């Protein structure tokens, strides 16, 4: 860590309007947790900071929709998120929240200091106001057509279809999300951080002094800086958030993107009274873990805020990830297109490490990546089970079988033994180097290389054959295997902490220091415990269940998004009266030979008994519909269908996907009764 004395590791504050999904995990929390566990294992001082982001418009809109308070919404999701992070082994030193008292006080004081030192610009501007709701409409309270891509449901601050950030006044045909009214422009006063004044300083700080930042991060910063920075409003007309602590600012709160990053500071303050050493001492190395949509806030806006304030340190690195998709589609909370962490923990009990492994092996480190359930299954079965688990199992089982669970003495080494043992420190070094540079995928691959090495060593030396002829050779081989297993329990801990603990249990050892790896940590004569399985095979049925769940979501989304067709032209009552619709009863039904869709129905219409051919065979079997009451148009011109004369038509309601349903009276009605 060079000249730094301690580390302050922050993770993006998840927005408390939904649970955490695998995209959040892969982008932010898993890499951050790996990094923190690694630092701790090396004896570094670390504060690992997280918390929920609980302000802003989407939360108030959700509350309004559900008829509850914003506090109800954030309590629900904060508690769910906090608990699932805990169960998943994200080892925060504190998981706080921005509705806390500490945070309100600290962010308010932060604003006040900047205000008093004249760091803001005060501007009056025209903003949309909803007369009927009696309030100004901030950000997502305004919906309209995107001027860039034409998306009809762009928000006042951003179009989610094309990603453009917008001003509400850019929208075509803006309407209020509260009342649906067309809002009017009205004057309001806000405070702005003049980012343009920080442009030169930011250019030097990022483009010259931080050339080592990941290229996706550096590139995004460069493009923002090249385009020129503008003053940004840091307040909003809203009643949910941190009130603006200035006279004449009633009904205004801090913009959620102003208060959220200050949440890192207040969380640290909640963690320790000694919080200032983390935030105000140049010997602290601060690192922000985030996803790509947060880069501008963490590399440009928050640093400018910190610089304006003057007493805080700046981040040393911002290793932002790109995005994870799910089965080829963008993950989305509102469309329920996600694998939710709390559901995973319930469906795959005890398999935290499998998900941690897959999300790391497939992390969107340099480009967007895709999560698929098939890949999840394959990586579990042919990597975790077949390589890591298999090696551990064989090493432990053979030690029990041949030496009653007592680690044997190591005898004379062959060249091959020496070669294998010499590889261990090389692997460790590669893991370290990759972790130091935030290359988590590669680090995990190298770590698995140690399990591969052990597996290959066993396969090459075949102790199960040698045991009959050369027991002392088998002792040496198994001793070496046990040392590799012990090293794995250390090296894999940052990535797969649950399995590492399990493995230490099998080996009957206490946690081993990172520096002791490669140095024979398990002495001969040590007794190991009974070995269980480190990983279990995941069967097709389990995976199919998850895939089916996603298919159901997809279908529900498709149905929800189908537009209802507009009403047809008006007709006269006389036109309507021409149709003679009656209640009928199905008295017989059979499939029409050589067709897929047609049923031949015999209907008691009250007037007569007649035959109707109906295209409903994909939705109803003949047996289930006999006796059913239906609506039948009895004066429709007869028509010949597949050689059968159809005398009338059964009325059906058609779903967007084509599924058909009878339109039936909701109580018994005498056949022949008119429908009118
Ligand atoms: N699919 C994803 N892949 C990688 N990182 C993601 C993904 N979705 C969100 N993140 C990151 O997770 C962090 C927390 O996200 P936040 O709570 O702000 O949700 P969000 O971006 O609004 O996501 P969503 O719309 O899915 O709820 C952010 O740093 C964000 O960049
Ligand atoms: Zn757009």
Q: What is the DSSP string of 87-139?
A: HHT---SEEEETTSHHHHHHHHHHHHHHHHTT-SEEEEEEEEEETTTTEE--G
H helix and E strand count, the chain: 23, 25
Q: Which atom of ligand 1 is nearest to the CA of 322?
A: 4
Residue pair 54/74 in contact (Cβ under 8 Å)? The answer is: yes
Distance CA 73, CA 102 (A): 20
Q: Which atom of ligand 1 is nearest to the CA of 12?
A: 29
Ramachandran quadrant class, 24 (left: phi over 0; alpha: psi -120 to 50; beta: rest): alpha
Q: Which CATH superfamily is domain 573-662 in?
A: Nucleic acid-binding proteins (2.40.50.140)
Distance CA 279, CA 601 (A): 79
| pLDDT for the residue numbered 377 | 98
Rounded to 5°, the CA angle 569-572-577 comes to 120
| pLDDT for the residue numbered 160 | 85
The closest ligand to the CA of 288 turns out to be 1
Q: Which residues pair with 591 in a beta bridge?
A: 599
Distance CA 534, CA 488 (A): 12
Q: Is the pLDDT of residue 552 over 60?
A: yes
User: Does residue 620 sit in helix, strand or coil?
Assistant: coil
Distance CA 286, CA 374 (A): 37
pLDDT band of 531, cuts 50, 70, 90? confident
Least Cα distance to 627 among 668, 599, 661 occurs for: 668
CA of 161 to the centre of ligand 2 (A): 5
Least Cα distance to 39 among 398, 337, 285, 385 occurs for: 285
Which percentage of the chain shows pLDDT scores above 70? 100
User: Is residue 333 marked as binding?
Assistant: yes
Q: Is the pLDDT of residue 345 over 90?
A: yes
CA of 336 to the centre of ligand 2 (A): 21
Residue pair 481/395 in contact (Cβ under 8 Å)? The answer is: yes
Distance CA 51, CA 79 (A): 11
Cα-flanking dihedrals φ and ψ of residue 228, to 5°? 85, 135
The kind and range of the H/E element at 401 are: helix 390-403
User: Does residue 219 sit in helix, strand or coil?
Assistant: helix
Distance CA 394, CA 459 (A): 10
Q: Pocket of ligand 1, candidates 10, 216, 293, 440: which has the most ligand atoms within 8 Å of its Cβ, to mutate? A: 293
371-516: CATH topology:
Isoleucyl-tRNA Synthetase; Domain 1 (1.10.730)
The closest ligand to the CA of 146 turns out to be 2
User: Does residue 68 sit in helix, strand or coil?
Assistant: coil
Distance CA 433, CA 427 (A): 10
Q: Which residues pair with 650 in a beta bridge?
A: 632
pTM: 0.87
Distance CA 646, CA 634 (A): 11
User: Does residue 545 sit in helix, strand or coil?
Assistant: helix
Distance CA 446, CA 434 (A): 9
User: Does residue 67 sit in helix, strand or coil?
Assistant: coil
Ligand 1: residue whose CA is nearest its atom 24: 333
| pLDDT for the residue numbered 1 | 52
Q: Which atom of ligand 1 is nearest to the CA of 325?
A: 1
User: Is residue 481 marked as binding?
Assistant: no
Least Cα distance to 611 among 651, 660, 644 occurs for: 644
Distance CA 535, CA 166 (A): 48
Q: What share of the chain is helix, strand, coil (3-state, %, to 5)?
A: 45, 20, 35
Torsion sign (Cα): 365, 369, 373, 378: negative
Instruction: Identify the burial level of 471 via C-beta atoms within 10 angstroms of its C-beta, where 0-12 means exposed, 13-18 middle and 19 or more buried.
Output: middle
Ligand 1: residue whose CA is nearest its atom 20: 15
Distances (CA, A) of 234 to 168, 192, 194, 305, 661: 15, 5, 10, 10, 54
Distances (CA, A) of 59 to 83, 216, 241, 319: 20, 30, 10, 28
The closest ligand to the CA of 331 turns out to be 1
pLDDT band of 211, cuts 50, 70, 90? very high
Q: What is the largest CA-CA distance in the chain?
A: 106
Q: Pocket of ligand 1, candidates 16, 27, 33: which has the most ligand atoms within 8 Å of its Cβ, to mutate? A: 27
Ligand 1: residue whose CA is nearest its atom 22: 15
pLDDT band of 2, cuts 50, 70, 90? low
The closest ligand to the CA of 171 turns out to be 2
| pLDDT for the residue numbered 385 | 98
Mean pLDDT to the nearest integer, 118-125: 96
Q: Is the pLDDT of residue 606 over 80?
A: yes
Ligand 1: residue whose CA is nearest its atom 30: 291
| pLDDT for the residue numbered 520 | 87
The residues spanned by each domain of the chain are 6-109+255-330, 119-237, 371-516, 573-662
Q: Is the pLDDT of residue 564 over 90?
A: no
Ramachandran quadrant class, 133 (left: phi over 0; alpha: psi -120 to 50; beta: rest): alpha
Please list every protein residue whose CB sits less than 6 Å from any atom of ligand 1. 12, 14-15, 18, 23-24, 26-28, 290-291, 293-294, 321, 323-324, 331-333, 364
CA of 139 to the centre of ligand 2 (A): 15
The closest ligand to the CA of 170 turns out to be 2
Q: Is the pLDDT of residue 571 over 70?
A: yes
Least Cα distance to 412 among 463, 465, 477 occurs for: 477
CA of 143 to the centre of ligand 2 (A): 12
pLDDT band of 331, cuts 50, 70, 90? very high
- Beta strand 184-193 with 609-614 is unpaired
Q: Which atom of ligand 1 is nearest to the CA of 13?
A: 14
Domain 119-237 matching CATH 1.10.1060.10: the answer reads: no
Q: Pocket of ligand 1, candidates 23, 55, 295: which has the most ligand atoms within 8 Å of its Cβ, to mutate? A: 23
Tell me what the pLDDT averaged over the chain comes to: 95
Distance CA 195, CA 300 (A): 8
Ligand 1: residue whose CA is nearest its atom 31: 291
Distance CA 546, CA 374 (A): 10
pLDDT tens figures, 251-290? 999 999 999 999 999 999 999 999 999 999 999 999 999 9
Q: Which atom of ligand 1 is nearest to the CA of 326?
A: 1
CATH architecture for residues 6-109+255-330: 3-Layer(aba) Sandwich (3.40)
User: Is residue 149 marked as binding?
Assistant: yes
pLDDT tens figures, 130-186? 999 888 998 889 999 999 999 999 999 889 888 888 889 999 999 999 899 999 999
CA of 59 to the centre of ligand 1 (A): 15
């Amino acid at each position: 860590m060079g000249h730094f004395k301690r580390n302050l590791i922050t993770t993006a504050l998840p927005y408390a309007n939904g649970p955490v999904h695998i995209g959040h995990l892969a982008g932010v929390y898993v890499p951050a947790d790996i990094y923190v566990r690694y630092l701790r294992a090396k004896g570094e001082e670390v504060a690992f900071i997280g918390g929920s982001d609980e302000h802003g418009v989407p939360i108030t809109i959700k509350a309004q929709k559900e008829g509850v308070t914003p506090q109800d919404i954030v309590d629900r999701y904060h508690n769910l998120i906090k608990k699932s992070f805990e169960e998943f082994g994200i080892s925060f030193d504190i998981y706080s929240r921005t509705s806390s008292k500490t945070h309100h006080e600290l962010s308010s004081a932060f604003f006040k200091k900047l205000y008093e030192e004249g760091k803001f610009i005060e501007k009056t501007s025209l903003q949309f106001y909803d007369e009927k709701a009696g309030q100004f409409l901030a950000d997502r309270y305004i919906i309209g057509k995107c001027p860039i891509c034409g998306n009809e449901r762009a928000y006042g601050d951003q179009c989610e279809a094309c990603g453009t950030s917008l001003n509400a006044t850019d929208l075509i045909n803006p309407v209020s999300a509260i009342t649906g009214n067309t809002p009017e422009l009205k004057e309001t006063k806000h405070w702005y951080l003049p980012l343009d004044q920080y442009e030169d300083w930011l250019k030097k700080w990022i483009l010259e002094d931080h050339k080592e930042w990941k290229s996706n991060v550096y590139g995004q910063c460069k493009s923002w800086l090249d385009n020129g920075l503008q003053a940004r409003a840091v307040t909003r007309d809203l009643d949910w958030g941190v009130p603006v602590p200035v006279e004449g600012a009633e009904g205004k709160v801090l913009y959620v993107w102003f208060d959220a990053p200050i949440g890192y500071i207040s969380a640290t303050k909640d963690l320790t009274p000694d919080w200032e050493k983390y935030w105000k001492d140049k010997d602290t190395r601060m690192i922000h873990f985030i996803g790509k949509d947060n880069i501008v806030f963490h590399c440009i806006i928050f640093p400018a805020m910190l610089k304006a304030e003057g007493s805080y340190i700046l981040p040393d690195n911002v290793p932002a990830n790109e995005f994870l998709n799910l089965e080829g589609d963008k993950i989305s909370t509102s469309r329920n297109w996600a694998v939710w962490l709390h559901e995973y923990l319930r469906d795959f009990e005890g398999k935290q490490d499998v998900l941690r492994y897959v999300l790391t092996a497939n992390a969107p480190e340099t480009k967007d990546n895709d999560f698929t359930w098939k890949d999840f299954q394959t990586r579990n079965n042919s990597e975790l089970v077949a390589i890591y688990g298999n090696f551990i199992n064989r090493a432990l089982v053979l030690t029990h079988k041949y030496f009653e669970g007592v680690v044997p003495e190591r005898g004379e080494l062959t060249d091959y033994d020496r070669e294998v043992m010499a590889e261990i420190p090389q692997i460790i070094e590669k893991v370290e180097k990759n972790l130091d540079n935030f290359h988590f995928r590669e680090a995990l691959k190298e770590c698995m290389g140690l399990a591969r090495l052990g597996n290959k060593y066993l396969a090459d030396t075949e102790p199960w054959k040698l045991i009959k002829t050369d027991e002392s050779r088998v002792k040496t081989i198994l001793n070496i295997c046990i040392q590799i297993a012990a090293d794995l329990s250390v090296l894999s801990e940052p990535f797969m902490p649950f399995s590492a603990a399990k493995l230490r249990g099998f080996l009957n050892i206490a946690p081993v220091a990172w520096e002791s790896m490669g140095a024979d940590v398990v002495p001969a004569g040590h007794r190991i415990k009974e070995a269980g399985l480190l990983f279990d095979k995941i069967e097709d049925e389990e995976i199919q269940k998850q895939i089916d769940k996603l298919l159901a979501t997809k279908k529900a989304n498709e149905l929800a998004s189908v537009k209802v067709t507009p009403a047809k032209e008006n007709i006269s009552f006389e036109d309507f009266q021409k149709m003679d619709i009656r209640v009928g009863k199905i008295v017989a039904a059979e499939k029409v030979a050589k067709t897929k869709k047609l049923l031949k129905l015999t209907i008691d219409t009250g007037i007569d008994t007649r035959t109707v051919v109906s295209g409903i065979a994909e939705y109803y079997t003949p047996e289930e519909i006999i006796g059913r009451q239906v609506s039948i148009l009895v004066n429709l011109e007869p028509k010949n269908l597949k050689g059968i004369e159809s005398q009338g038509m059964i009325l059906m309601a058609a779903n967007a996907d084509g599924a058909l349903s009878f339109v039936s009276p909701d109580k018994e009605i005498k056949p022949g009764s008119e429908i009118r």
